[in-house]
Amino acid sequence: MTKIQMTTPLVEMDGDEMTRIIWQMIKDELICPFVDLKTEYYDLGLEHRNETDDAVTVESAEATKRLGVAVKCATITANAARVEEYGLKQMWKSPNGTIRAMLDGTVFRAPIVVRGIEPCVRNWEAPITLARHAYGDVYKNAEMRVPGAGKVELVYTAADGSEQRELVHEFDGPGVVQGMHNLDASIESFARSCFNYALDIKQDVWFSTKDTISKKYDHRFKDIFQEIFDAEYKERFDAAGIEYFYTLIDDAVARVMKSKGGFIWACKNYDGDVMSDMVSSAFGSLAMMTSVLVSPEGVYEYEAAHGTVQRHYYKHLKGEETSTNSVATIFAWSGALRKRGELDELPELMAFADRLEKATLDTIEAGEMTGDLALITTLENPVKLSTRAFIQAIAKRLAA
């Protein structure tokens, strides 16, 4: 059999623990037998990040900007316990944080829908994609406890020294106060990422804030989205037969629950944090979610939404059998290969990505699945497979 050819390499970001084991299995069993895989390899495993003083993370993000498409394995975010476990030189920053900051993107997460794993919300027929703004608001706030009576003001000091003040509250007893910010530039790139992604997957964009209450802050988000949409996207949306729809966050929540799904829901940072956990758990499991970072320049980084599944890895190290779900990592690969195929005009590579996803879903629908899904499936008599056996069951279907 001749293998499918690639022209431009993918940026391959290897990772840690159980997902690193799965990574190799996916390449060996599901990709390399069929595709003449070309990648530029970066080892983001914690040991190598430590050896390179984390330079490898920065290099992998630069390569992504240069080549346009990356696929990333889950990685350990160092904490005090990991510093000790791996003898780290320092508590390295989150690789995802570093990469997001360099690519300036928006993270899109969508559930992988399969028969047998049913959403709790009966009317959801198609996945809902959450687009979460990843900069500012309460995540970069300044806050204080107010000890007692006194006045709290917002003070803006311009470069020329002139001041502008706004009273927050005249306290007559103790309380709390918080200051938040965002940047027009960041909101603009959030809007463009959402509109570009919508054109990519041909789905409507819903955007929601609380602009009736937050007449300057949230209203700025609403205005920027509308201005960018009207100036740059309206015609292309019309041509693609899709819509941009703005509504208040509370109205959006009610509509989402009653919808059939099949759209992109753009949320401010906090709303996106809360709503993505609600949407993903209502659809089944974190291991059944796609996740892609899209930069405003149209650079793509595909990953799994879950972590390195440490508990399973320690079992694996002890020689015990594991049943770790590889679906999100497989879909990170298929997403990246499809995008590469699209950009390089390689229809065979795009078709392979479709076949890989179909073989994965067919395997689950045939009742062969990992333990996490066997627990929640509506299929009768599911067969619980080990980590490797599940990937091999997919490989068998793919070869056929």
Using CB under 6 A, which of the segments 180-188, 199-207, 255-263, 301-309 binds ligand NAP? 301-309
For ligand NAP, the binding residues in 346-375 under the rule CB under 6 A are 372
The correct pick among 193, 324, 334, 360 for binding ligand NAP (CB under 6 A) is: 324
Using CB under 6 A, which of the segments 69-77, 114-122, 202-210, 233-241 binds ligand NAP? 69-77
How many whole angstroms separate alpha carbon 120 and alpha carbon 218?
A: 31
| Residue number, 259 or 370, with CB nearest to ligand NAP | 370
Nearest alpha carbon to residue 331 among 309, 349, 356: 356
* Size of the chain in residues: 400
Using CB under 6 A, which of the segments 157-165, 217-225, 265-273, 299-307 binds ligand NAP? 299-307
Binding to Mg ion by CB under 5 A, coded x per residue (else -) over 47-66, reads --------------------
Written as six digits, the tokens of 290 are 């796609």
| Residue number, 169 or 311, with CB nearest to ligand NAP | 311
The correct pick among 200, 273, 342, 365 for binding Mg ion (CB under 5 A) is: 273
Query: 267 - beta bridge partners?
Result: 132, 208
Written as six digits, the tokens of 193 are 């990422």
**If binding is defined by CB under 6 A, does position 77 make contact with ligand NAP?**
yes
Distances, alpha carbon 30 to alpha carbons 3, 27, 68, 164, 311, in Å: 12, 6, 23, 61, 25
The correct pick among 6, 76, 131, 275 for binding ligand NAP (CB under 6 A) is: 76
Residue 169 dihedral angles phi and psi, to the nearest 5° = -165, 145
Task: Indicate the helix (H) or strand (E) that contains 316.
Answer: helix 310-317
How many whole angstroms separate alpha carbon 117 and alpha carbon 327?
A: 13
Side chain identity at 93, as an amino acid letter?
Answer: K
For ligand NAP, the binding residues in 81-100 under the rule CB under 6 A are 96
By a kind-dependent CB cut-off of 5 to 8 A, residue 75 interacts, out of Mg ion, ligand NAP, none, with ligand NAP
Residue 324 dihedral angles phi and psi, to the nearest 5° = -95, 135
Q: What residues make contact with ligand NAP under the rule CB under 6 A?
A: 74-77, 96, 286-287, 303, 306-311, 324-325, 372
